[in-house]
Structure 1
Amino acid sequence: MTKECPQEFVDLAHRLADAAGKAIRPHFREKIDIIGKADNSPVTIADRNAELAMRAIIEAEYPDHGIFGEEFGEVRTDAEYVWVLDPIDGTHSFISGSPTFGCLIGLTRNDIPILGVMDQPISHERWLGANGQSTLNDAVISTRPCPSLPDASLFAWGAELFQGDHEQQFRRLHQAVKRTRFGYDCYAYGLLSLGFVDAVADCDMKPYDYCALVPIVENAGGRITDWSGEPLKLTTPGLVLATGDARLHDAILRLLNEPQ
């Protein structure tokens, strides 16, 4: 399956990010109501307004495309093209006044991610991955070489999220690398694509958490898979591993999957 993305969809992704940013910026570091969702995760008016703004544009211009959004669910996800939206990836960071959240806009074709945008509307940083190239604010970016676990820097959302066997796997990885930092949400993947981070490991990821990140990481020269080394698709949420160097990726997969 080709991963080529028509330019009209790249242009649309930029307009979606612009619309989401316009909805998000007025609420940053302001006193706003925080609503608890069924899974106890927080949501704000900024999350909801940003997703509604993006969905309205897609519905008006490409009514045959599917949409899979964090806040307002799925429609036509059996379509050839599906837009995968997380208006604020990192709502905890957003409500804490930390600009490490991002708006994630992914596009899949027949279940395969072909376009990704990660927009940070406060710092005005926009990552784009498509058609063999990743950029930050239109400047071409790439990951850095790091084949060795003892030399690698690792980011993860939080150690407490890894449970059961995954807790043991992550502990082995944490002990094998040079340093580990926590937090940063999707911003960690942006730093990886820029060559400042070597690996990111996460769990309990949903399609709207990772679909946009796949083209950004891959087109910057990195790898991003599940913990078995399988490609990430719209229908395969869960454990995510991203690295800037394929050799490091293979080393981490061996470590994660070694028998106990």
Structure 2
Amino acid sequence: MSNHSSSTEPDIIETANEIVCAAAETALGYFRNPLDIDLKGDDSPVTLADRRIEKDARDLLNSRFPDHSILGEEYGAGDLSKVHVWVIDPIDGTRSFISGHPLFGFLLAHMTNGHPTLGIISMPALDEVFVGVSGMGATQNGSPTKVSDQTKLADAILAINEGEKLYACEPDAFSRLVQAGHTRRFGYDCYPHALLAAGHIDAVVDYDLKPFDYLPLAAVIEASGGVISDWNGQPLGFNSDGRVVSASTPELHAELLHLLSGRA
């Protein structure tokens, strides 16, 4: 495959779908069954399921696209300067997974020249798959999705992810967030962003994410018509600081950036 081929060629999308189906089957085979859990250097849990899902995805990608690079949570990064880079989070929400909570996901992105052009948020225990492709829109289980048209924070449904980290590390922003919006929900991981892409909620503020957490989300949200950036309003890339805000409209996104900055 040439380096100049489109990121949305059928073989890219077909391979992504194969990976998603295999990952869901593997995850559900381990979910709510006894698991051996290891702690990584940052004390985050990792399971055999995480490692197997990512290894299987890498094996398929390497066989289909040997000239593409891969960034994954469990097995590290290849050459991220390549035109084509795949991004894998085998189990987004391992703490949910190991506690029997169904809101864990599988995340996959395909990057073209550093920009996410294909993203998938798969929720195996819910049997929901959200796909976003640049220029082709977004779907949930094959049906088109789009974000809401909410432009005002005061009327918005706001998801606040990683609440305890925000409370500990960004207390001023946290205190403003818990008073913002019409309705607030605390959560974790990818599912609130999927709900945003599908038009059910209007904004998500997230914290301490890694590239394999946020790059797949970016492709889905943007293809759904939404806006996603870091807290400074900059586009997300491999070196973003992990503070993420997504919103249904540019107006709502701008209002959230203003709130997070603490400017009067």
Normalised by the length of structure 1, the TM-score is: 0.94
Q: CA deviation at 1:237?
A: 3.8
SS in 2 for 1:247: helix
Give me the whole-angstrom Cα distance separating, in 2, the residues matched to 1:258 and 1:181: 21
Q: CA deviation at 1:106?
A: 0.7
The equivalent position to 1:241 in structure 2, one of 231, 239, 245, is: 245
Counterpart residue identity of residue 185, structure 1: D
Match of 1:146 in 2: 150
Q: CA deviation at 1:4?
A: 5.6
Give yes or no for contact 1:154–1:199 (8 Å, CA) kept in 2.
Answer: yes
Match of 1:12 in 2: 15
The equivalent position to 1:49 in structure 2, one of 47, 52, 55, is: 52
Structure 1 regions of 5+ residues with no counterpart?
none
Give me the whole-angstrom Cα distance separating, in 1, the residues matched to 2:257 and 2:91: 29
The answer on 1:70 being equivalent to 2:67 is: no
Counterpart residue identity of residue 254, structure 1: H
Give yes or no for contact 1:3–1:114 (8 Å, CA) kept in 2.
Answer: no
Match of 2:123 in 1: 120
Q: CA offsets, 1:183-211, max 9 Å, x none? A: 24201111111111111111111100011
Give yes or no for contact 1:113–1:234 (8 Å, CA) kept in 2.
Answer: no
Q: CA deviation at 1:6?
A: 2.3
Q: CA deviation at 1:159?
A: 1.8
Give me the whole-angstrom Cα distance separating, in 2, the residues matched to 1:53 and 1:214: 24
Identity %: 39
The equivalent position to 2:224 in structure 1, one of 220, 223, 228, is: 220
The answer on 1:83 being equivalent to 2:122 is: no
The equivalent position to 2:27 in structure 1, one of 24, 29, 37, is: 24
Match of 2:187 in 1: 183
Match of 2:209 in 1: 205
Q: CA deviation at 1:212?
A: 0.5
Give yes or no for contact 1:90–1:102 (8 Å, CA) kept in 2.
Answer: yes
The equivalent position to 1:155 in structure 2, one of 155, 159, 163, is: 159
Q: CA deviation at 1:39?
A: 0.4
Give me the whole-angstrom Cα distance separating, in 2, the residues matched to 1:183 and 1:46: 23
Q: Count matched residues.
A: 259
Match of 2:100 in 1: 97
The equivalent position to 1:253 in structure 2, one of 236, 253, 257, is: 257
SS in 1 for 2:150: coil
Q: CA offsets, 1:163-198, max 9 Å, x none? A: 677321232122121222112420111111111111
Give yes or no for contact 2:163–2:187 (8 Å, CA) kept in 1.
Answer: no
Report the more deviating stretch, 201-210 or 237-246: 237-246
SS in 2 for 1:215: helix
The answer on 1:111 being equivalent to 2:105 is: no
Give yes or no for contact 1:154–1:174 (8 Å, CA) kept in 2.
Answer: no
Give me the whole-angstrom Cα distance separating, in 2, the residues matched to 1:235 and 1:16: 25
Report the more deviating stretch, 76-85 or 217-226: 76-85
Give me the whole-angstrom Cα distance separating, in 1, the residues matched to 2:30 and 2:59: 20
Q: CA deviation at 1:76?
A: 2.4
Counterpart residue identity of residue 195, structure 1: G
The answer on 1:130 being equivalent to 2:144 is: no
Match of 1:33 in 2: 36
Q: CA deviation at 1:145?
A: 1.5
